[in-house]
Amino acid sequence: MLVNLRDVCAIAEQGNMAIAAFNTPSLEAVRAAIDAAEATGYPVIIQHAECHEDITPLDVMGPSMVALAERSHAQVCVHLDHCEHLSYMRRALEMGFNGVMYDGSALPYEENVANSVRAAAMCSGFDCGLECELGSLGAREGDVLSDGASAPEGGSGATYTDPVQACDFARSTGLDILACSFGTVHGLYRGEPHLSFDVLERIRERVCVPLVMHGGSGVSDDDYRKAISAGIRKINYYTYGVKYAGEAVLDLVDARRKADNSATVYWHDMTTVAYERLTADFIEVMKVFANGADPQAS
């Protein structure tokens, strides 16, 4: 069933947990995320990033995401991730997305505010919550997400979210949830992630809306728990899931070729293995993000 972004984050707030937000630019990923939600009993967010348009267009992915979410008995929010163009956002809203992110984090502050206000006005005619971003994770999210390249350790060029500005931003824009930068990066970590919980706690003290962690895969369970304790309610998770799925496909090909050097490996064998690996990974991380919350309570 469809549950909008505001309501899904309210469930997270009540349970002192974070909702997993999986980027799903393939049918295997959509199915894995929804099946993981059904298996664990926790709500899930499935999201399409504007920069994934070249992997699978919104016109193809969006209606499939909405249809599969509607017929599931799990609580599913269908969300647009890192949208930089309001015309693209409108298309998602008209398809039935019930969460959208306007990302003006690369723009000067005033422009980010002005466009986020426009995004909020656009959402008001729909059953849809709005996420906006302040601060930058360093490498442009779009670049990293679209080519899967590794992000620099510590996010060179990263700007942590300013807690005082975050308060003004939340008040001025009408956003429902705030994506903030406190040390995570999109893509593969080249070393240990170093998160600044101090920054996160100072944002939490000043901003009362739910907070979002981007660059959420590849972080230790301990850091996930600390981030949740400091107010993170949505964790965006992509790179490490698709890395594990890619490795599972390579293992399959290796095993088949070892048994028979000229073995044919069909595409559907690969998508099946990828789906199974993604599902297992998603179940595991959803349990960590649940932070001990009772699935019956959600």
Residues that bind ligand 13P (CB under 6 A): 23, 81-82, 186-187, 214-217, 236-239
Instruction: Encode the chain in three state secondary structure.
Output: CECCHHHHHHHHHHHCCCEEEEECCCHHHHHHHHHHHHHHCCCEEEEEEHHHCCCCCHHHHHHHHHHHHHHCCCCEEEEEEEECCHHHHHHHHHHCCCEEEECCCCCCHHHHHHHHHHHHHHHCCCCCEEEEEECECCCCHHHHHHHCCCCCCCCCCCECCCHHHHHHHHHHHCCCEEEECCCCCCCCCCCCCCCCHHHHHHHHHHCCCCEEECCCCCCCHHHHHHHHHCCEEEEEECHHHHHHHHHHHHHHHHHHHHHCCCCCCCHHHHHHHHHHHHHHHHHHHHHHHHCCCCHHHC
The answer to whether 176 is a known catalytic residue is: no
Among residues 135 and 216, whose Cβ is nearest to ligand 13P?
A: 216
- We find the least distance from the C-beta atom of residue 132 to ligand 13P, in angstroms, to be 13
Among residues 101 and 207, whose Cβ is nearest to ligand 13P?
A: 101
Which of 251, 215, 237, 246 is CA-nearest to residue 283?
A: 237
- CA 239 vs CA 18, 127, 153, 217, 219: distances in Å: 18, 29, 15, 6, 11
Among residues 66 and 145, whose Cβ is nearest to ligand 13P?
A: 145
> What's the one-letter identity of residue 74?
A
- We find the least distance from the C-beta atom of residue 128 to ligand 13P, in angstroms, to be 18
- We find the least distance from the C-beta atom of residue 138 to ligand 13P, in angstroms, to be 11
- We find the least distance from the C-beta atom of residue 23 to ligand 13P, in angstroms, to be 5
- We find the least distance from the C-beta atom of residue 13 to ligand 13P, in angstroms, to be 20
Half-sphere exposure in the Cβ direction for 10 (13 Å, CA):
7
Among residues 42 and 237, whose Cβ is nearest to ligand 13P?
A: 237
Among residues 185 and 290, whose Cβ is nearest to ligand 13P?
A: 185
- We find the least distance from the C-beta atom of residue 216 to ligand 13P, in angstroms, to be 5
Q: Among 35, 54, 81, 103, which one carries the catalytic annotation?
A: 81
Which of 42, 61, 59 is CA-nearest to residue 3?
A: 42
Among residues 34 and 144, whose Cβ is nearest to ligand 13P?
A: 144
Catalytic residues: 81
